[in-house]
């Protein structure tokens, strides 16, 4: 049987989970007296455990890298202490920002590409999502997962998300990213500039010049055309992956998200 480029990428892919704390703390964790957000229980299991198990159980994932400021809370917690003894799990102390932390990990001598990147609050991540994303990412330098508005609202009409409106559709970001080559690291310079404004969809486009921003806000470009223009400027192949599962863009950012996620997990059984 012939392998597609997506199959080859998925054959050996490392994964990174961003499991650190925000500098100013997290309201959900603080209100529960929990050390870090990643340990908030969702359906009676710490968020990080949901995500780590989904990745470690997937045949495409090789090593799992955890980024956090302090790992002691994880090793002491019943749901996540197994990660300390798993030889596939590697730990990396977070820097001041996500972009800096990512750059530190991916610039190490033993860093492996490709790598899938997600967050500890991406609790609904499952085997199908991981496979779909990696297969679609293929041989790209960078892949970014999104969910189209109609896909989400068809299944969850009450869901409140931040939408980026472009020619041809409205999109919400999913916490799934793919770096297929070391060259992809250069996008981290731009990531650092918009990190504090991640909910402002237009912010990143200002970095690539007023003309691109103008074409975007006037809806003269599709999301794929924007990715192509940014990729051309950076010398990278950037792919936008439209996820078929609405749940791909539902993470646990607020209390209402937690309620919805627990309902979805209960329905999954």
What is the per-residue pLDDT for 12?
86
Pairwise CA distance, residues 134 & 176, whole Å: 10
pTM equals: 0.88
Pairwise CA distance, residues 249 & 122, whole Å: 8
Confidence of residue 8 (pLDDT cuts 50, 70, 90): very low
Question: What CATH code is carried by the domain that includes residue 23?
Answer: 3.90.550.10
Confidence of residue 53 (pLDDT cuts 50, 70, 90): very high
What is the per-residue pLDDT for 16?
97
Confidence of residue 52 (pLDDT cuts 50, 70, 90): very high
Residue 131 lies in a domain: yes
If one counts every other C-beta atom within 10 angstroms of the C-beta of residue 69, the result is: 14
Please determine, for residue 127, whether its predicted confidence score (pLDDT) is greater than 80. yes
**What is the tens place of the pLDDT at every residue in 140-152?**
999 999 999 999 9
Q: What mean pLDDT do residues 30-38 have?
A: 92
Number of domains in the chain: 1
Q: With b meaning 16 or more CB within 10 Å and e meaning fewer, what string describes 72-102? A: ebbeebebbebbeeeeebbebebbebbbebb
Residue 269 lies in a domain: no
Residue 158 lies in a domain: yes
Backbone angles phi, psi at 171, to 5 degrees: -135, 145
Residue 120 domain boundaries: 5-263
Q: What is the mean pLDDT of the chain?
A: 86
Residue 268 lies in a domain: no
Alpha-carbon torsion (155, 159, 163, 165), positive or negative: positive
- Nearest Cα to 193, choosing from 179, 182, 206? 206
């Amino acid at each position: 049987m012939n392998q597609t480029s997506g199959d080859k990428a998925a054959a050996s892919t490392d994964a990174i989970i961003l499991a650190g704390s925000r500098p100013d703390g997290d309201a959900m964790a603080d209100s529960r007296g929990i050390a870090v957000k990643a340990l908030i229980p969702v359906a009676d299991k710490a968020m990080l455990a949901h995500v780590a198990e989904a990745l470690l159980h997937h045949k495409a994932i090789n090593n799992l890298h955890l980024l956090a400021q302090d790992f002691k809370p994880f090793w002491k917690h019943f749901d996540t202490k197994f990660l300390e003894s798993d030889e596939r799990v590697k730990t990396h102390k977070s820097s001041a920002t996500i972009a800096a932390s990512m750059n530190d990990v991916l610039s190490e001598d033993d860093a492996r590409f490709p790598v899938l990147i997600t967050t500890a609050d991406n609790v609904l991540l499952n085997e199908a999502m991981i496979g779909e994303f990696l297969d679609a990412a293929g041989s790209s330098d960078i892949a970014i997962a999104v969910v189209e508005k109609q896909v989400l609202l068809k299944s969850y009409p009450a869901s409140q998300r931040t939408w980026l409106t472009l020619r041809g559709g409205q999109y919400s970001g999913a916490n799934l990213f793919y770096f297929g080559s070391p060259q992809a690291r250069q996008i981290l310079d731009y990531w650092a500039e918009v990190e504090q404004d991640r909910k402002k969809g237009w912010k990143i486009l200002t970095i690539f010049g007023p003309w691109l921003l103008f074409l975007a806000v006037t809806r003269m470009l599709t999301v794929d055309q924007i990715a192509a223009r940014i990729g051309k400027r950076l010398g990278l192949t950037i792919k936008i992956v439209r996820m078929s599962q609405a749940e791909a863009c539902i993470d646990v950012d607020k209390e209402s998200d937690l309620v919805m996620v627990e309902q979805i997990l209960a329905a999954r059984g």
